[in-house]
Amino acid sequence: MTSASNPTPLDSLDTPCLLLDETRMTHNIQRLKALMAKHGVQLRPHLKTPKSIDVARRVMSSPQGPAAVSTLQEAEQFAAAGVTDLLYAVGVSPGKLARVLALRGRGVDVTIVVDSIDAAEMVAAQTKASGVRLPALIEIDCDGHRAGVQPDNHEHLLAIAQVLAQADCLRGVMTHAGESYGCRSLEAIADMAEQERAAAVGCADAIRAAGLPCPVVSVGSTPTAHFARSLAGVTEVRAGVYVFFDLVMAGLGVCSVDDIAATVLTTVIGHQPDKGWILVDAGWMAMSRDRGTAKQPVDQLYGLVCDAQGKVYPDLLLAETNQEQGIIKLRAGSGASLPDLPLGTKLRIVPNHACATCAQHDAYHVVRAGEQGVVARWDRFRGW
């Protein structure tokens, strides 16, 4: 982390660049922390969103974790920074086990995820061959979203559990209600949270009824984590994007636009006055091509446009993007008028999807409520 003794004025930053409002981030972190404390369940923040050691230290409950990651590069980077309790929450392939074993050999408690007999046998064989135990969670498919064992297929579940247990590798179950991103109401999100909980707890119960251990019952997505009615039987909740939030989460009602902590600072580079267009230097390279709100009732195109201080202009959208240019327009049918934004004006764009937009940048430029300028620069990493 680089901390500026004197804040850097926004106007002096090269654009496009990524801004992070630490005040909003802290509010988001505290909100979910308080909720999990009320449920009495451990939070395992997913660090695939920030990919930053400075953010990780603020979002984790201790410098050692726990945390979840989506790549071995994340696992290695956070382990090097002192995190010792990591869930690698993506199905593992044979070629990746050497790096997992290397981390475990260094005393990092990395848990992996499997959802088939083949994968369980691979884990058991590697444990036997290396002498290093590879603890694993069995992934459950609670909503047809992605990977995992069907929650009512106990025969399959127990066959995997047996293979893992015989190698002393069975640590529990995990599931992720990815379909919660498609919910249309907070009620539907709460129902999805219950579906997620019931799938995981039901499978854990089945494993225990077969006389096998299942200490961990891990669930989570940002929407379900915030609106679960009950987490009975769950031992930990995972969530990632809540640390920054974004327009997809605001569209779902999980947060408000004013909670969104990560934005892209951009500069006006031209105008097409006859068309009502303002051109800026934030194209898809700076925003990503993510258009998550396209499937929501209100499509925010490539993002909401704010002034340099973060105040949203009514109905002003980043409507189209080329590689290094964006076109700002008023929302179709809007009664608002196009603001006068001369060449060189700085603006902020609120993104659809924080994970995707932040991934386009190498650093966060940190700002705080009530303070002028950038107070710190926090590096991000990427790769696999």
DSSP code at position 63: T
Report if residue 155 touches a second copy, rule: CB under 8 A: no
Instruction: Name the minimum Å distance from CB 326 to a second copy.
Output: 10
Site for a second copy in 243-282 (CB under 8 A): 267-272, 274-275, 279, 281
Contact between 143 and 195 (Cβ < 8 Å) = yes
Count the residues of the shown chain that bind a second copy, applying the rule CB under 8 A: 63
- Tell me how crowded residue 85 is: count the other CB atoms within 10 A of its CB: 17
Which position among 16, 65, 135, 151 is part of the footprint of a second copy (CB under 8 A)?
Answer: 16
**Phi, then psi, of 352 in degrees rounded to 5:** -65, -50
d(CA 308, CA 383): 31
The piece of 1-9, 37-45, 69-77, 242-250 that touches a second copy (CB under 8 A) is 69-77
Report if residue 355 touches a second copy, rule: CB under 8 A: yes
Compare residues 6 and 323 and give the one whose CB is closer to a second copy: 323
The piece of 30-38, 126-134, 141-149, 220-228 that touches a second copy (CB under 8 A) is 141-149
Which position among 150, 162, 166, 296 is part of the footprint of a second copy (CB under 8 A)?
Answer: 150
d(CA 319, CA 252): 21
Report if residue 359 touches a second copy, rule: CB under 8 A: yes
Site for a second copy in 172-191 (CB under 8 A): 178
Report if residue 324 touches a second copy, rule: CB under 8 A: yes
Site for a second copy in 74-103 (CB under 8 A): 90-96, 99
For the record, the structure tokens of 3 come out as: 């901390």
CA distances from 339 to 37, 273, 305, 310 (A): 45, 12, 11, 15
Report if residue 200 touches a second copy, rule: CB under 8 A: no
Which residue, among 242, 169, 157, has the nearest Cα to 201 in the 3D structure?
Answer: 157
| Torsion of the alpha carbons at 2, 256, 35 and 222, rounded to the nearest 10 | -80
Report if residue 348 touches a second copy, rule: CB under 8 A: no
Instruction: Name the minimum Å distance from CB 56 to a second copy.
Output: 17
The piece of 123-131, 165-173, 245-253, 322-330 that touches a second copy (CB under 8 A) is 322-330
93 Cβ contact partners less than 8 Å away, ≥ 6 residues apart: none
Residue spans of alpha helices (H) in the chain: 22-39, 53-59, 72-80, 97-105, 117-130, 154-166, 186-209, 222-227, 247-252, 284-287, 354-358
Contact between 162 and 114 (Cβ < 8 Å) = no
Which position among 106, 208, 289, 295 is part of the footprint of a second copy (CB under 8 A)?
Answer: 289
Report if residue 308 touches a second copy, rule: CB under 8 A: no
Which residue, among 74, 131, 128, 84, has the nearest Cα to 106 in the 3D structure?
Answer: 84
Report if residue 14 touches a second copy, rule: CB under 8 A: yes
Euclidean distance between the first and the last CA atom of the chain, given in angstroms as a whole number: 22
d(CA 321, CA 314): 20
Report if residue 286 touches a second copy, rule: CB under 8 A: yes
Report if residue 344 touches a second copy, rule: CB under 8 A: yes
Report if residue 203 touches a second copy, rule: CB under 8 A: no
Footprint on this chain of a second copy (rule: CB under 8 A): 11-12, 14-17, 48, 70-72, 90-96, 99, 115-116, 118-119, 122, 141, 144, 146-147, 150, 178, 267-272, 274-275, 279, 281, 284-286, 288-291, 322-325, 327, 342-344, 355-356, 359-362, 382-384
